[in-house]
Amino acid sequence: MQTVKLKVKEGVYEELLSLLSKFEKDEVEVISEPMDMDFKMNQEHLAVELDDLVKGKAKLIELDEVEQRLEYIIIKHENTF
């Protein structure tokens, strides 16, 4: 058998699966990738984050503040391990 990976628009996806389901299992097997949902969720989240950056809505912080926050978190949790 050959393997084909497709990128399909949301509206076409169900129709494509319906069409593929008409074939016998030994002719066509749909292989779902478990990471696809996580990837899609991350992609959507990052698209929103990028949109906020582009529109100037994102809250940005200086590197010094990041270091302070990380130090606080480390101190807070260093005895939990």
- Residue 16's CB is within 10 A of a number of other CB atoms, namely 13
In percent, the amount of the chain with pLDDT more than 90 equals 62
- Residue 21's CB is within 10 A of a number of other CB atoms, namely 10
pLDDT bin (cut points 50, 70, 90) of residue 81 is: low
Sign for the CA dihedral angle at 21, 26, 27, 28 comes to positive
pLDDT bin (cut points 50, 70, 90) of residue 34 is: low
Q: Give this prediction's pTM.
A: 0.43
In percent, the amount of the chain with pLDDT more than 70 equals 94
**DSSP character at residue 44:** H
The mean pLDDT value of the chain amounts to 89
Got the DSSP string for 55-73? HT-S----HHHHHHHHHHH
